[in-house]
Amino acid sequence: MNRRDFICLGGAAVALSASASASQRTSSAMPNFDKEYFINWDRAYLNIAWPGIKEKPRFRVIGDTHFNYFDERDKEYAGNYARMSGVSGRNVHLPSQAPHKYFEEAVDTAKKDGVDAILLVGDILSFPTLANVEYARKKLDECGVPWIYIAGNHDWHFEGLPGSSTQLRETWIEKRLMPLYKDGDDPMMFSRVVKGVRIVAIDNSTYLLSRKQVDFWMSEAAKGEPVLLMMHIPLYVKTGPKGCCASPHWGAALDWAWEIERRPRWIEKATPETFEFREAVLSTPNLVGVFTGHAHQAFSMRENGQNLFSVRDCRKPRAYLDVAIS
Protein backbone atom coordinates (compact mmCIF):
# COMPACT_ATOMS: atom_id res chain seq x y z
CA MET A 1 0.00 0.00 0.00
CA ASN A 2 1.20 3.45 -0.82
CA ARG A 3 1.01 5.05 2.58
CA ARG A 4 1.08 8.49 1.00
CA ASP A 5 -2.37 7.75 -0.35
CA PHE A 6 -3.60 7.46 3.20
CA ILE A 7 -1.82 10.57 4.35
CA CYS A 8 -3.67 12.43 1.61
CA LEU A 9 -6.98 11.11 2.77
CA GLY A 10 -7.52 14.26 4.80
CA GLY A 11 -11.05 14.95 5.89
CA ALA A 12 -12.29 11.54 4.88
CA ALA A 13 -10.26 10.00 7.67
CA VAL A 14 -11.17 10.19 11.34
CA ALA A 15 -8.13 9.85 13.56
CA LEU A 16 -8.23 7.31 16.33
CA SER A 17 -5.22 8.89 17.95
CA ALA A 18 -4.96 8.34 21.66
CA SER A 19 -3.72 11.89 21.94
CA ALA A 20 -6.79 13.41 20.29
CA SER A 21 -8.03 16.46 22.16
CA ALA A 22 -11.33 16.48 24.00
CA SER A 23 -12.89 18.71 21.35
CA GLN A 24 -11.81 16.35 18.59
CA ARG A 25 -13.27 13.46 20.46
CA THR A 26 -16.52 15.27 21.04
CA SER A 27 -16.85 16.21 17.41
CA SER A 28 -16.43 12.64 16.29
CA ALA A 29 -18.33 11.00 19.13
CA MET A 30 -21.63 10.76 17.31
CA PRO A 31 -21.09 10.33 13.60
CA ASN A 32 -24.14 10.64 11.44
CA PHE A 33 -24.40 6.98 10.65
CA ASP A 34 -27.54 5.92 8.84
CA LYS A 35 -27.50 2.27 9.82
CA GLU A 36 -29.50 0.95 12.69
CA TYR A 37 -26.55 1.19 14.99
CA PHE A 38 -24.26 3.97 15.98
CA ILE A 39 -20.68 4.19 17.02
CA ASN A 40 -19.38 6.12 19.99
CA TRP A 41 -15.85 7.06 19.40
CA ASP A 42 -13.47 7.88 22.19
CA ARG A 43 -9.80 7.52 21.61
CA ALA A 44 -9.14 4.02 20.32
CA TYR A 45 -12.43 2.65 21.46
CA LEU A 46 -15.56 1.94 19.48
CA ASN A 47 -18.88 1.03 20.96
CA ILE A 48 -21.13 -0.42 18.30
CA ALA A 49 -24.74 -0.68 19.33
CA TRP A 50 -26.37 -3.64 17.66
CA PRO A 51 -30.05 -4.12 18.45
CA GLY A 52 -30.89 -7.63 19.54
CA ILE A 53 -27.42 -8.79 20.45
CA LYS A 54 -27.67 -10.79 23.67
CA GLU A 55 -24.07 -10.96 24.80
CA LYS A 56 -21.66 -8.07 24.75
CA PRO A 57 -18.45 -9.10 23.03
CA ARG A 58 -15.36 -6.97 23.16
CA PHE A 59 -12.52 -7.30 20.69
CA ARG A 60 -9.02 -5.85 20.64
CA VAL A 61 -7.76 -5.24 17.11
CA ILE A 62 -3.98 -5.25 16.72
CA GLY A 63 -2.08 -4.84 13.46
CA ASP A 64 1.32 -4.17 11.96
CA THR A 65 3.50 -4.96 14.95
CA HIS A 66 6.26 -5.98 12.51
CA PHE A 67 8.30 -8.22 14.77
CA ASN A 68 11.86 -8.56 13.62
CA TYR A 69 13.28 -11.41 15.64
CA PHE A 70 15.68 -13.80 13.99
CA ASP A 71 18.48 -16.15 14.95
CA GLU A 72 21.01 -18.51 13.46
CA ARG A 73 18.34 -20.98 12.42
CA ASP A 74 17.37 -18.61 9.61
CA LYS A 75 20.91 -17.61 8.70
CA GLU A 76 20.41 -18.74 5.12
CA TYR A 77 17.70 -16.08 4.71
CA ALA A 78 19.70 -13.25 6.30
CA GLY A 79 19.87 -11.44 2.98
CA ASN A 80 16.12 -11.76 2.62
CA TYR A 81 15.25 -10.11 5.92
CA ALA A 82 18.16 -7.68 6.29
CA ARG A 83 16.28 -4.60 5.08
CA MET A 84 13.15 -5.13 7.15
CA SER A 85 15.10 -6.08 10.26
CA GLY A 86 17.26 -3.02 10.12
CA VAL A 87 20.45 -5.03 9.86
CA SER A 88 21.18 -3.48 6.49
CA GLY A 89 21.26 -0.04 8.08
CA ARG A 90 17.87 1.04 6.75
CA ASN A 91 15.79 0.30 9.76
CA VAL A 92 12.25 0.76 8.54
CA HIS A 93 10.68 -0.58 11.69
CA LEU A 94 11.75 -1.24 15.26
CA PRO A 95 15.41 -1.60 16.18
CA SER A 96 16.50 -5.09 15.39
CA GLN A 97 15.54 -7.67 18.02
CA ALA A 98 14.06 -5.00 20.33
CA PRO A 99 11.53 -6.24 22.88
CA HIS A 100 8.08 -5.45 21.58
CA LYS A 101 6.90 -3.41 24.53
CA TYR A 102 3.64 -2.07 23.09
CA PHE A 103 2.48 -5.37 21.68
CA GLU A 104 3.18 -7.01 25.01
CA GLU A 105 1.19 -4.30 26.80
CA ALA A 106 -1.69 -4.77 24.37
CA VAL A 107 -1.92 -8.51 24.90
CA ASP A 108 -0.97 -8.59 28.58
CA THR A 109 -3.77 -6.17 29.52
CA ALA A 110 -6.42 -7.83 27.35
CA LYS A 111 -7.74 -10.18 29.98
CA LYS A 112 -7.94 -7.50 32.66
CA ASP A 113 -9.74 -5.25 30.18
CA GLY A 114 -12.42 -7.85 29.52
CA VAL A 115 -11.43 -8.58 25.93
CA ASP A 116 -13.15 -11.68 24.52
CA ALA A 117 -10.86 -12.11 21.52
CA ILE A 118 -7.77 -10.45 20.11
CA LEU A 119 -8.00 -9.89 16.37
CA LEU A 120 -4.60 -9.77 14.67
CA VAL A 121 -5.00 -8.12 11.29
CA GLY A 122 -1.66 -8.88 9.70
CA ASP A 123 1.96 -7.76 9.40
CA ILE A 124 2.42 -9.07 12.89
CA LEU A 125 5.82 -10.22 11.61
CA SER A 126 8.14 -8.36 9.26
CA PHE A 127 9.29 -11.70 7.82
CA PRO A 128 8.59 -15.37 8.54
CA THR A 129 11.58 -16.33 10.70
CA LEU A 130 11.17 -19.12 13.21
CA ALA A 131 12.09 -16.68 15.99
CA ASN A 132 9.30 -14.28 14.96
CA VAL A 133 6.65 -16.99 14.84
CA GLU A 134 7.74 -18.45 18.17
CA TYR A 135 7.68 -15.07 19.88
CA ALA A 136 4.20 -14.28 18.57
CA ARG A 137 2.79 -17.64 19.53
CA LYS A 138 4.35 -17.58 23.00
CA LYS A 139 3.09 -14.10 23.91
CA LEU A 140 -0.38 -14.78 22.56
CA ASP A 141 -0.68 -18.09 24.36
CA GLU A 142 0.46 -16.49 27.61
CA CYS A 143 -2.08 -13.69 27.54
CA GLY A 144 -5.03 -15.92 28.44
CA VAL A 145 -7.40 -14.50 25.81
CA PRO A 146 -8.43 -16.25 22.57
CA TRP A 147 -6.82 -14.77 19.49
CA ILE A 148 -7.48 -14.89 15.78
CA TYR A 149 -4.72 -14.23 13.26
CA ILE A 150 -4.78 -13.46 9.56
CA ALA A 151 -1.62 -12.76 7.57
CA GLY A 152 -0.44 -9.51 6.05
CA ASN A 153 1.86 -9.13 3.08
CA HIS A 154 5.00 -9.02 5.23
CA ASP A 155 4.20 -12.00 7.45
CA TRP A 156 5.13 -14.45 4.68
CA HIS A 157 7.64 -12.33 2.77
CA PHE A 158 11.38 -12.97 2.63
CA GLU A 159 12.52 -10.34 0.18
CA GLY A 160 14.08 -11.40 -3.09
CA LEU A 161 12.94 -15.01 -3.31
CA PRO A 162 11.67 -16.23 -6.69
CA GLY A 163 8.02 -17.01 -7.36
CA SER A 164 4.69 -15.26 -7.65
CA SER A 165 3.15 -13.62 -4.58
CA THR A 166 0.49 -16.34 -4.49
CA GLN A 167 3.14 -19.07 -4.55
CA LEU A 168 5.34 -17.39 -1.97
CA ARG A 169 2.39 -16.85 0.35
CA GLU A 170 1.38 -20.49 0.10
CA THR A 171 4.94 -21.73 0.61
CA TRP A 172 5.79 -19.62 3.64
CA ILE A 173 2.46 -19.96 5.35
CA GLU A 174 2.90 -23.70 5.08
CA LYS A 175 6.56 -23.67 6.11
CA ARG A 176 6.39 -21.17 8.94
CA LEU A 177 3.08 -19.57 9.85
CA MET A 178 0.90 -22.58 10.63
CA PRO A 179 1.46 -22.23 14.43
CA LEU A 180 -0.48 -18.96 14.17
CA TYR A 181 -3.61 -20.67 12.84
CA LYS A 182 -5.84 -23.09 14.66
CA ASP A 183 -5.87 -26.72 13.60
CA GLY A 184 -8.26 -27.26 10.74
CA ASP A 185 -8.53 -23.61 9.70
CA ASP A 186 -7.79 -22.71 6.11
CA PRO A 187 -5.34 -19.78 6.36
CA MET A 188 -7.06 -18.18 3.37
CA MET A 189 -10.51 -18.07 5.01
CA PHE A 190 -12.11 -19.21 8.23
CA SER A 191 -14.61 -18.01 10.79
CA ARG A 192 -15.27 -18.13 14.48
CA VAL A 193 -18.34 -17.11 16.48
CA VAL A 194 -17.53 -15.12 19.61
CA LYS A 195 -20.46 -14.17 21.86
CA GLY A 196 -22.91 -14.10 18.99
CA VAL A 197 -20.71 -12.25 16.48
CA ARG A 198 -19.35 -14.15 13.51
CA ILE A 199 -15.74 -13.15 12.92
CA VAL A 200 -14.75 -13.89 9.33
CA ALA A 201 -11.02 -13.81 8.63
CA ILE A 202 -10.01 -13.55 4.98
CA ASP A 203 -6.46 -13.38 3.64
CA ASN A 204 -6.22 -10.55 1.11
CA SER A 205 -2.50 -9.99 1.59
CA THR A 206 -1.81 -10.24 -2.16
CA TYR A 207 -4.59 -7.67 -2.78
CA LEU A 208 -6.50 -10.32 -4.69
CA LEU A 209 -9.42 -12.52 -3.67
CA SER A 210 -10.27 -15.94 -5.05
CA ARG A 211 -13.60 -17.37 -6.18
CA LYS A 212 -13.53 -19.61 -3.12
CA GLN A 213 -13.07 -16.62 -0.80
CA VAL A 214 -15.97 -14.73 -2.38
CA ASP A 215 -18.23 -17.75 -1.99
CA PHE A 216 -17.00 -18.26 1.56
CA TRP A 217 -17.84 -14.68 2.52
CA MET A 218 -21.31 -14.95 1.07
CA SER A 219 -22.09 -18.23 2.79
CA GLU A 220 -20.74 -17.05 6.16
CA ALA A 221 -22.61 -13.74 5.98
CA ALA A 222 -25.82 -15.60 5.08
CA LYS A 223 -25.71 -17.47 8.38
CA GLY A 224 -27.39 -14.47 9.92
CA GLU A 225 -25.39 -13.38 12.98
CA PRO A 226 -23.80 -9.94 13.04
CA VAL A 227 -20.69 -10.50 10.94
CA LEU A 228 -17.30 -8.81 11.38
CA LEU A 229 -14.72 -9.04 8.62
CA MET A 230 -11.01 -8.97 9.47
CA MET A 231 -8.34 -8.75 6.76
CA HIS A 232 -4.98 -7.03 6.34
CA ILE A 233 -5.46 -4.65 3.44
CA PRO A 234 -8.27 -2.05 3.61
CA LEU A 235 -11.09 -2.50 1.17
CA TYR A 236 -11.55 0.24 -1.38
CA VAL A 237 -14.32 2.78 -1.05
CA LYS A 238 -15.06 5.34 -3.74
CA THR A 239 -13.96 8.31 -1.63
CA GLY A 240 -10.88 6.53 -0.28
CA PRO A 241 -7.28 5.93 -1.31
CA LYS A 242 -6.62 4.51 -4.74
CA GLY A 243 -4.31 1.76 -3.58
CA CYS A 244 -6.80 -0.26 -1.52
CA CYS A 245 -7.93 -3.81 -2.17
CA ALA A 246 -10.48 -4.00 -5.00
CA SER A 247 -9.72 -0.48 -6.17
CA PRO A 248 -10.28 0.10 -9.89
CA HIS A 249 -7.07 2.17 -9.78
CA TRP A 250 -4.97 -0.60 -8.24
CA GLY A 251 -2.36 -2.24 -10.45
CA ALA A 252 1.21 -2.26 -11.70
CA ALA A 253 1.25 1.46 -12.45
CA LEU A 254 0.54 2.26 -8.79
CA ASP A 255 3.12 -0.16 -7.38
CA TRP A 256 6.02 2.02 -6.28
CA ALA A 257 7.54 -0.46 -3.79
CA TRP A 258 8.08 -3.67 -5.71
CA GLU A 259 11.78 -3.09 -6.32
CA ILE A 260 12.44 -1.94 -2.76
CA GLU A 261 10.64 -4.96 -1.37
CA ARG A 262 12.14 -7.27 -4.00
CA ARG A 263 8.87 -8.95 -4.90
CA PRO A 264 6.84 -9.45 -8.08
CA ARG A 265 5.22 -6.27 -9.33
CA TRP A 266 1.45 -6.07 -8.93
CA ILE A 267 -0.49 -7.32 -11.93
CA GLU A 268 -2.12 -4.81 -14.26
CA LYS A 269 -5.55 -4.81 -12.67
CA ALA A 270 -7.40 -6.61 -9.90
CA THR A 271 -9.33 -9.75 -10.80
CA PRO A 272 -13.13 -9.91 -11.31
CA GLU A 273 -13.43 -11.98 -8.13
CA THR A 274 -11.72 -9.22 -6.17
CA PHE A 275 -14.26 -6.65 -7.35
CA GLU A 276 -17.07 -9.09 -6.70
CA PHE A 277 -15.83 -9.57 -3.15
CA ARG A 278 -15.98 -5.83 -2.49
CA GLU A 279 -19.54 -5.62 -3.79
CA ALA A 280 -20.57 -8.61 -1.69
CA VAL A 281 -19.05 -7.20 1.51
CA LEU A 282 -20.47 -3.72 1.07
CA SER A 283 -23.95 -5.08 0.43
CA THR A 284 -24.01 -7.34 3.49
CA PRO A 285 -26.93 -6.16 5.64
CA ASN A 286 -25.62 -7.76 8.84
CA LEU A 287 -22.07 -6.40 8.54
CA VAL A 288 -20.77 -4.95 11.81
CA GLY A 289 -17.69 -3.55 10.10
CA VAL A 290 -14.48 -4.31 8.27
CA PHE A 291 -11.28 -4.16 10.33
CA THR A 292 -7.87 -3.95 8.69
CA GLY A 293 -4.31 -2.66 9.13
CA HIS A 294 -1.61 -2.20 6.47
CA ALA A 295 -1.67 1.60 6.21
CA HIS A 296 -0.07 2.00 9.66
CA GLN A 297 -2.56 4.75 10.41
CA ALA A 298 -5.95 4.74 12.03
CA PHE A 299 -8.84 5.86 9.87
CA SER A 300 -12.42 5.07 9.03
CA MET A 301 -14.15 4.99 5.69
CA ARG A 302 -17.76 4.55 4.64
CA GLU A 303 -19.68 3.41 1.63
CA ASN A 304 -23.18 2.14 1.17
CA GLY A 305 -23.87 2.60 4.88
CA GLN A 306 -21.00 0.28 5.82
CA ASN A 307 -18.13 1.18 8.11
CA LEU A 308 -14.52 0.23 7.51
CA PHE A 309 -11.77 0.79 10.05
CA SER A 310 -8.02 0.51 9.92
CA VAL A 311 -5.81 0.39 13.00
CA ARG A 312 -2.50 2.08 13.70
CA ASP A 313 0.71 0.10 13.59
CA CYS A 314 1.11 -1.32 17.07
CA ARG A 315 4.59 0.03 17.62
CA LYS A 316 3.37 2.92 19.76
CA PRO A 317 1.55 3.08 23.11
CA ARG A 318 -2.10 2.03 22.96
CA ALA A 319 -2.07 1.70 19.20
CA TYR A 320 -4.70 -0.99 19.22
CA LEU A 321 -8.44 -0.50 18.76
CA ASP A 322 -10.96 -1.86 21.23
CA VAL A 323 -14.38 -2.65 19.79
CA ALA A 324 -17.38 -3.37 22.00
CA ILE A 325 -20.67 -4.55 20.52
CA SER A 326 -23.74 -4.21 22.69
Print the binding letters for residues 170-209 with Fe ion: x by CB under 5 A, - otherwise. Answer: ----------------------------------------
Cα–Cα distance, 52 to 294 (Å, whole number)? 33
Cα–Cα distance, 152 to 156 (Å, whole number)? 8
Indicate whether 220 belongs to the interface with Fe ion (CB under 5 A): no
Sequence-ordered alpha helix ranges (H) in the chain: 3-7, 22-29, 78-85, 101-108, 130-142, 165-172, 211-221, 272-282
Q: Taking contact as CB under 5 A, which single stretch among the options 57-65, 192-200, 222-230, 247-255 is the one that binds Fe ion?
A: 57-65
Question: By CB under 5 A, how many residues form the interface with Fe ion?
Answer: 2
CB of 264 vs Fe ion, minimal distance in Å: 18
CB of 94 vs Fe ion, minimal distance in Å: 12
Indicate whether 123 belongs to the interface with Fe ion (CB under 5 A): yes
Element (H, E) at 45: strand 45-48
Closest by CA to 60, choosing from 4, 103, 7, is 103
Q: Are 287 and 227 in contact (CB under 8 A)?
A: yes
Nearer to Fe ion, 170 or 261 (CB): 261
Q: Taking contact as CB under 5 A, which single stretch among the options 118-126, 136-144, 174-182, 266-274 is the one that binds Fe ion?
A: 118-126
Cα–Cα distance, 202 to 204 (Å, whole number)? 6
Nearer to Fe ion, 64 or 255 (CB): 64
CB of 309 vs Fe ion, minimal distance in Å: 16
Sequence-ordered alpha helix ranges (H) in 156-290: 165-172, 211-221, 272-282
Indicate whether 155 belongs to the interface with Fe ion (CB under 5 A): no
Interacting residues with Fe ion between 61 and 80 (CB under 5 A): 64
Give the footprint of Fe ion on this chain (CB under 5 A).
Answer: 64, 123
